[in-house]
Amino acid sequence: MASSNFVDQIKIYCRSGKGGPGSAHFRREKFVPKGGPDGGDGGRGGHIIIRGNAQMWTLLHLRYTKHLHAGNGESGGRQQSTGASGEDVIIDVPLGTLARNAETDELLAEIIEDGQTAILLKGGRGGLGNTHFKTPTHQAPRYAQPGEPETEAFITMELKILADVGLVGFPNAGKSTLLSVVSAAKPEIGDYPFTTLTPNLGIVSYYDHHSFIMADIPGIIEGASEGKGLGLRFLRHIERNSILLFMIPGDSNDIGRDYQILLHELEAYNPELMDKTRLLAITKSDLVDQELRDGITPSLPGLPSVFISSITGEGLKELKDLLWKHLNPAKNE
């Protein structure tokens, strides 16, 4: 996903269709001069529908979509024929998309499965034809219901990436390098902070044709939960990850302190993130000799950890095993 093509939040105006009016028609044939009412019902207006599409990774296709209008229902006809329904508008979105009413912030839909659909705005119901108003004392009603009006609203759509493993760390911690080594993803890599400006996804292969999805989230800095750095824009993508893999370079001055800073930013953003499984990878271990590792190990945070080097490949097998074990705890009992 190139940075210019990654769009994770948009706002569009949507309007459903009007319901068609019912018909006030009377049956009039050569040998049936007073056949009575036979007006049909109006068709319903078109819905605005959202649908999950597993082949999509971004909301880019909606960037220049400012207005979406569903079709209006058609009028009822003679011989109690119902008018055609208005054409629905179906909005395909990537999995992990939330749709909200922009004015009330009401959650309208949360799309997490391929093919999942939800109606954002319902079309107006069609009006009843005059046949519904015939009574023993009023056998020739000359009126029918109008259709219900359309519904309109500004809708905001927000993408929160769905992934099994989310990489959490400071800028230049080696997250993009790891993703490029263990998957076919090709994120931009550089030896300077904030190389990654958009989330990147990669599929990591495991034994027996198994795999899991890993997400490289742009680097967090102290104060990110308050909007500093890339701030809140990308912290939300961490919410949907099953496992949080903290990545801290082995040459850090204080790995424990760095971990606590990252943890504090996540907790300040959303305390529910503290309920997720947390693992630790000490990166760039090719720069750390055995004596230094022995000195680092006792001060590491109390969570499962592994020393890795994306350059030499050290520890990557152990890391995959550790991730798979925590992604599938039932299979490892």
Q: What pLDDT is recorded for position 2?
A: 41
Q: How confident is the model at residue 3 (pLDDT cuts 50, 70, 90)?
A: very low
Q: Is the predicted pLDDT of residue 23 greater than 90, yes or no? A: yes
Place of tokens 């940075």: 3
Q: How confident is the model at residue 193 (pLDDT cuts 50, 70, 90)?
A: very low
Instruction: Note if the pTM is more than 0.95.
Output: no
Q: What is the pLDDT of residues 263-302, one digit of tens each?
A: 988 888 888 889 999 999 999 888 888 888 888 888 888 8
Reduce the DSSP state of residue 11 to 3 states and report it: strand
Q: How confident is the model at residue 194 (pLDDT cuts 50, 70, 90)?
A: very low
Q: Is the predicted pLDDT of residue 212 greater than 70, yes or no? A: yes
Q: Is the predicted pLDDT of residue 165 greater than 60, yes or no? A: yes
Q: What pLDDT is recorded for position 189?
A: 47
Q: Is the predicted pLDDT of residue 220 greater than 50, yes or no? A: yes
Closest residue by Cα to residue 175 from 201, 149, 139: 201
Please state, as a whole number, how many other Cβ atoms lie within 10 Å of the Cβ of residue 224: 25
**192 φ, ψ (degrees, to nearest 5):** -140, 155
Q: Which of 85-89, 193-197, 260-264 has the lowest mean pLDDT?
A: 193-197
Q: Do the strands 97-101 and 152-159 form a parallel or antiparallel pair, or are they unpaired?
A: antiparallel
d(CA 174, CA 322): 18
Q: Are 102 and 11 in contact (CB under 8 A)?
A: yes
- What value does the mean pLDDT take over residues 129-149? 90
Q: Are 36 and 140 in contact (CB under 8 A)?
A: yes
Closest residue by Cα to residue 234 from 265, 278, 277, 203: 265
Structure tokens given for 118: 């939800």
Q: What pLDDT is recorded for position 221?
A: 61
- Residue ranges and CATH numbers for the domains of the chain are 1-159 (2.70.210.12), 163-332 (3.40.50.300)
